[in-house]
């Protein structure tokens, strides 16, 4: 099996959660069809009425980039082919800022946003679960994935800076949420974007308050 396509797919599962739903496997021969450009399947009103886990965003515009995409994905369990898709998908809400671009090699192309926020329920993406997945990917001989994890604190919330092959993600755990912030060729300072997060119920200009500590709740 070709190493590079699998490696790219694995990295997106770690650092680019929005596109994990697009990844369907690795290919040995012909590349797969180009994935469709993601479209919003949620509105701001949907996000503001959501109460399963707390959501955070950066307003309708951030650093000159408009909010271009809001997506809600409900978790699905593994269903083997040919009757199912053959993979489990996580539960999340994501916000994309700026125009999406198709990037990656022909075997694992992805639509990338310049800035993206993805929020999972804490129970599905705790620090321990994230580090376990990273170790599993690092131990896979097909992936050749190297990463570095650094502790960070954002307004009282503990998190990690994850750097892998030139890309960087910030993950935070606050309340019943795991919040991931990703930047791709936007020039935005990722730590500043994480510092600027505020609850979805509020608008730009709201006072930035300390983030609550994580709470362990069952999914």
What pLDDT, on a 0 to 100 scale, did the predictor assign at position 166?
Answer: 67
- pTM for the structure as a whole: 0.81
Low-confidence ranges of the chain (pLDDT < 50): 1-25, 27, 82-87
Cα separation, 144 vs 208, in Å, equals 40
Q: Determine, yes or no, domain membership for 215.
A: no
Does residue 139 lie within any of the structural domains? yes
Residue 206 lies in a domain: no
* DSSP letter, residue 197: -
In-domain check, residue 96: yes
195 DSSP assignment: H
The confidence score (pLDDT) of residue 23 equals 34
- Residue 93, domain extent: 3-199
Flag whether 212 is in a domain: no
> What is the 8-class DSSP label of residue 21?
G
Q: What is the pLDDT of residue 12?
A: 44
Q: What pLDDT shows up at residue 138?
A: 75
pLDDT in tens, 35-93: 889 999 999 999 999 999 999 999 999 999 999 999 998 866 555 554 444 445 678 99
Six-digit token string for 198: 């505020």
- Report how far residue 114's alpha carbon sits from residue 116's, in angstroms, rounded to the nearest whole number: 7
**Number of domains composing the chain:** 1
């Amino acid at each position: 099996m070709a190493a590079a396509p699998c490696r790219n797919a694995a990295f997106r599962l770690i650092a680019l959660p929005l596109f994990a739903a697009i990844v369907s496997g690795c290919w040995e021969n012909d590349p797969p069809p180009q994935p469709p450009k993601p479209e919003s399947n949620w509105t701001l009103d949907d996000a503001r009425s959501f109460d399963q886990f707390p959501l955070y965003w950066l307003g309708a515009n951030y650093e000159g980039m408009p909010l271009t995409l809001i997506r809600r994905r409900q978790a699905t369990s593994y269903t083997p082919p040919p009757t199912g898709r053959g993979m489990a998908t996580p539960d999340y809400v994501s916000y994309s800022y700026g125009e999406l671009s198709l990037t990656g090699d022909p075997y694992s192309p992805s639509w990338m946003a310049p800035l993206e926020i993805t929020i999972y329920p804490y129970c599905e993406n705790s620090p321990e679960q994230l580090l376990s997945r990273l170790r599993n990917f690092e131990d896979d001989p097909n992936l050749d994935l190297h990463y570095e994890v650094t502790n960070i604190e954002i307004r009282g919330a503990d998190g990690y800076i994850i750097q892998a092959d030139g890309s960087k993600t910030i993950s935070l755990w606050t309340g019943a949420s795991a919040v991931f912030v990703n930047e791709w060729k936007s020039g935005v300072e990722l730590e500043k974007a994480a510092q600027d997060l505020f609850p979805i119920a509020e608008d730009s200009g709201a006072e930035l308050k300390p983030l609550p500590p994580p709470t362990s709740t069952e999914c």
